[in-house]
Amino acid sequence: MSRIRHCVECPNCLTRYLISFSPYGNGSYLVTTMYGSTEEHALYCSCRGGALATRWSGREVMACEVSKAAYDRGYGTTDEIWPINNEMQRASFDPSTYLRNWKSPEKGKSSL
């Protein structure tokens, strides 16, 4: 059974890392930062000795299907973690899809 998770990929060794599973058992780690209003991720991959970071903005993160073994580790190879099609990936990062008809529960209440 596979799962859908957001991932980043090391451009050097092509290992794919699941966001929110850091630190990883292979010595790599992912830091999530906020730059303005855009979420940004910095990956320190063990293949580079942890010295160089690769950065991604929230729009560059991949939505992936993840095997059970890779999910249990938090990272995996391209054979274990597969990007899902671009249509689904774009939709997963479009907040207007979720907020289009949202109404604040506070709207209309008077404050003290």
Q: Which of 27, 96, 15, 92 is nearest to 61 (CA)?
A: 92
pLDDT at 64 over 70: yes
- Higher-scoring residue by pLDDT: 44, 104: 44
52 Cα distance to chain centroid = 19
Distance (Å, whole) CA 51 – CA 60:
22
Is 51 or 77 the better-scoring residue by pLDDT? 77
Q: Which two tokens stand for residue 48?
A: 């580079």
| Max mean pLDDT range (27-31, 47-51, 76-80, 108-112) | 76-80
**What is the model's pLDDT at position 20?**
83
Burial 5-25 (b: 16+ CB within 10 A, else e): bbbbbbeeeebbbbbebbebe
Residue 99 structure tokens: 């907020």
Q: What does the pLDDT look like over 30-54, one tens digit per residue?
A: 987 776 555 788 899 999 876 778 8
Spell out the alpha helix ranges (H) of 1-112.
Answer: 68-73, 86-92, 95-99
- pLDDT tier, 112 (very low <50, low <70, confident <90, very high otherwise): very low
Cis amide linkage into residue 23, ω under 30° from 0: yes
